[in-house]
Amino acid sequence: DRVKKVSNSLHFYHQIDFEDLESVKQIDFNVDVLMVFIGKTGTVQGFEDYKQFINVNEIIFLNILQAYVEMNSKSLIIYPSSRLIFKSNEEGLVAEGAELRMRSIYAVTKYAAEKYLEIYKDVYGINFVILRICTPFGTLLEDFGNYGTFEIFKKQAQNEKKVRLFGDGEQKKTFTHILDVCKAFDLIIKKVNTDWDNYNLGGKALALKDIALNIANKNNVPVEKAEWPELYYKVDGGTIVFDSSRFDK
C-alpha cells in the first residue's frame, strides 16, 4: 500500500517497494505459505498500458521469485492465474490441459508468470501451486464494490436505469464467489500434498444474459441489447466453463 504504517495492532505490516529487489528481500520468506496477490488485471486496457502490465505481472513477480531464492525460502507459493490463457470452447468444459490461446497482453503476462514458476522449479527447486480462477465476483469488504461483470451490470442498472448486454448474451463463464476463492486457497494450504501443480477452480456456469436479466429484474429496469465492441469481443467474447474435477477431488 501507499501508507507506511496502518496501526500499532498490525505490527506485521511493512511497506515494500516491489520494484526494488532489496526492498522485497525485507519480507520474511521463512514461512510455510506465500500467497501472491500482486497483479494488474484487464483485457483491452493492456494494449494501451502494456508497460505497466508487464512491469507488475512479470518484472515484480520475478523480483519476488528472485528474493525467494536468495532468502533460501522453502515456502509453498500459491499463485492465482486466469481463464484468459485458454482458447474459448463453446461446446465443452475447459480442463487444465486444454488448448491455449492468449488474446490480450494481460493473458500473456499471466501465462508468462506460470512459466517463470516452472523455470524456477526446474533450476532452484521452488514449490508452487497455480490456481486458475475463471471469473471471480463478490466482496467481503465494506464500502468496496463487487468485481467484474456483476459490478458493471449493477452500476448500469443504478446509474443508467438499464442493463446493456452485448450480443445475444449466450457466452458462459464459470463464476466463483470471492469467499469460495478464499476457501480454495485455504484448502490448498491444508490438503495439497504435492510440491507443485495447477488447478482450475470451479464455480457456477452462467450465461451473461442470465446475469443481466437477474440484475435488471431486481432493479426493475430493462435489458438493452447492443453490438459487441469489436476489440472487446476479440479479447474476451467466447465461452469458457472450467472443468474443476481435479481440484474438486
Task: Report pLDDT for 150.
Answer: 86
Task: Report pLDDT for 3.
Answer: 62
Report residue 67 as a C-alpha cell. Answer: 528474493
Q: What is the pTM of this model?
A: 0.90
d(CA 174, CA 23): 37
pLDDT at 7 over 70: no
What pLDDT, in 10s, does the model give residues 22-69?
Answer: 999 999 999 999 999 999 998 899 999 999 999 999 999 999 999 999
Alpha-carbon distances of 60 from 102, 219, 242, rounded to whole Å? 21, 42, 28
Give the mean pLDDT of 182-193: 88
What pLDDT, in 10s, does the model give residues 96-150?
Answer: 999 999 999 999 999 999 999 999 999 999 999 999 999 998 887 776 666 678 8
The DSSP 8-state label assigned to residue 134 in this structure reads S
d(CA 37, CA 116): 16
For the chain, give the mean pLDDT.
91
Task: Report pLDDT for 11.
Answer: 62
Give the mean pLDDT of 13-26: 90
> Do 79 and 129 form a contact (C-beta atoms < 8 A)?
yes
What pLDDT, in 10s, does the model give residues 202-241?
Answer: 999 999 999 999 999 999 999 999 999 999 889 988 999 9
